[in-house]
Amino acid sequence: MSSSEIERQWTTRLRHRVEGKLPPEKMLPDTQPNYVSSWIYVFGVATMSALFVVIATGCILALRGPQWWHGSAYGHFINSLHLWSVEIFFFSMVVHLWGKFAMAAWRGGRALTWMTGVITFLASVATAFTGYVSQSNFDSQWISTQAKDGINATGAGAYFNVLNLGQMLMWHIVLLPLAAVVLTALHIVLVRIKGVVPPFEENPVVENAEVTQ
């Protein structure tokens, strides 16, 4: 195979592109800019850590099943860990969202980073909702019967039936977590490529401003 043929291969082109956009020192940096030393920058990582606990406890719940998480002390404990890590996940994500909104984090070509964050938030809300209707208790029955009219009013009820426990459970443990994890990974990669958004300038230069003397 000639060198020009190798250069044309999609694997070669993809590798060159990844190397250019995200070299190892950018993917796993040693330092961050000085402005990152603020508590407001902690909540993105807190969200990610909570997501890790959500998935780990969700995997244990999947291994043991509803009789175990409703009927044993250890099952109750893991079930509660799953719930409370979700609470911390959303709490941290909302504070992260407010912080990024206040600093207009879409500046400097970071629109895709912002949008992946928005879609991850929406996917997470859907994941949490399907989790509430998959508890297999009276609470989940109440939530699903209350939600069905709202979902049916959108026209999505034929494809997304909140009274169908099997369908909701599959959305909750396969499709939506997959979407949330892939989107989170993409969001983090974009943060690494573009870097953390810098603060606003204290004395910004106003373009086309008239100077009077």
Partner 1 sequence: MAFILSFAALIPLDSLGHYIHWGWVEISVANFIIIVLMIATFIAAIAAPFPGRRRRKENR
Contact indicator for 124, 180 with CB cutoff of 8 Å: yes
Q: Which of 22, 42, 55, 88 binds partner 1 (CB under 8 A)?
A: 42
Q: Is residue 39 close enough to count as binding partner 1 by CB under 8 A?
A: yes
99 binds partner 1 (CB under 8 A): yes
Question: Residue 52 is encoded by which pair of tokens?
Answer: 């890790």
CA angle at residue 50 from 47 to 52, to 5 degrees? 115
* Complex with partner 1: residue 42 or 165, whichever CB lies closer: 42
Interaction between residue 43 and partner 1 (CB under 8 A): yes
Q: Does 3 bind partner 1 (CB under 8 A)?
A: no
How is the chain split among helix, strand and coil, in percent rounded to 5? Answer: 75, 0, 25
| C-alpha to C-alpha distance for 60 and 65, rounded to whole angstroms | 9
Give me the least distance between CB of 34 and partner 1, in Å please.
6
Environment class of residue 99 by beta-carbon count within 10 Å: exposed (0-12), middle (13-18) or buried (19+)?
Answer: middle
Query: Could you tell me if 101 and 154 are in contact, meaning their C-beta atoms sit under 8 angstroms apart?
Result: no
Among 6, 14, 62, 94, binds partner 1 (CB under 8 A): 94
Count of chain residues binding partner 1 (CB under 8 A): 13
Q: Is residue 34 within the footprint of partner 1 (CB under 8 A)? A: yes
Q: Does 37 bind partner 1 (CB under 8 A)?
A: yes
Cα separation, 20 vs 23, in Å, equals 6
130, 110, 135, 111: which is closest to 179 by C-alpha?
Answer: 130
101 binds partner 1 per the rule CB under 8 A: no
Cβ 49 to partner 1, closest distance in Å?
Answer: 16
**Token pair recorded at residue 137:** 């208790």
**What's the length of the chain?**
213
Exactly one of 9, 38, 80, 137 binds partner 1 (CB under 8 A); that residue is 38
Residue 91 binds partner 1, judged by CB under 8 A: yes
83 binds partner 1 (CB under 8 A): no
Nearer to partner 1, 4 or 34 (CB): 34
Residue placing its CB nearer to partner 1 in the complex, 96 or 173: 96
Instruction: State the virtual CA torsion across 45, 86, 59, 113 in degrees, nearest 10.
Output: -40
The residues binding partner 1 (CB under 8 A) are 34, 37-40, 42-43, 87, 91, 94-95, 98-99
